Amino acid sequence: MIVLLIALALAIFLLPNLWAQWVLKRHTKGRDDYPGTGAELASHLLRRFDLKNVGVEVSEQGDHYDPIDRVVRLSPDHFNGRSLTAVTVAAHEVGHALQHAEGYAPLIARSRMVGVAQKAEKLGALLMMAAPFLFLLTRLPGGLAAVIAVAVISFGTAAVVHLVTLPVEFDASFNRALPLLKEYVPPSDMTGARHVLTACAFTYVAASLASILNLGRWLMILRR
């Protein structure tokens, strides 16, 4: 059962990611009819909504919005690219900046939980690896179960963060970025833009499901 769960988790996580990469690559062809790059569209949208305190930077760490530094960061291809993928990703990240500006509750919750979850997940992995040795050292009744329980709680924290991330990403994509893109890209490109946004969203869905399956696997171990 554990082997099947691991295989299912890998399939759920890898297949949507591969599909997302294929969709993003499919729409990276340069477009001479676009008036600007991803960075230029992001800067324009930030000015349009009077978010003067939010910057736009190129980043090697992938596309994301940093709520601490208040910066929209885009990968080099999307920062300099004049393609459907570039402008769609840029609009999505600006969507997060708009969420932050209005105090969108799920974004605030996720921002607060991310740091805690990263530390908890590392602690959980460490405890699971060290559990047999800790049990041999302590030899306390229920010692191993206590260590595993702490590890499961840490993995559970990561699963909660992934679940909180879903409404944040879907809102940024379909409630904010998509309506904006209708004003800046040709109508014939809107289907492609929706595909790009859907592909990105599916990566977060996959991560959430994989995290829940991982938590379920450790719960089964704990029950034994």
pLDDT at 16: 74
In the set 40, 60, 93, 121, the catalytic residue is: 93
Q: Is 93 annotated in the active site? A: yes
Contact between 95 and 63 (Cβ < 8 Å): no
The sheet carrying 71-74 orders its strands as 55-58, 71-74, 64-66
Residue with the two structure tokens 């592909």: 199
Q: What average pLDDT does the chain have?
A: 83
Q: Read off the pLDDT band of 182 (50, 70, 90).
A: very high
How many other CB atoms sit within 10 Å of the CB of residue 52? 8
Check residues 4 and 33 and name the one with the higher pLDDT.
Answer: 33
Mean pLDDT, range 142-156, rounded to an integer: 66
Residue 77 has pLDDT above 80, yes or no: yes
Residue 167 has pLDDT above 80, yes or no: yes
- Going 41 to 99 to 54 to 58, the CA torsion angle's sign is negative
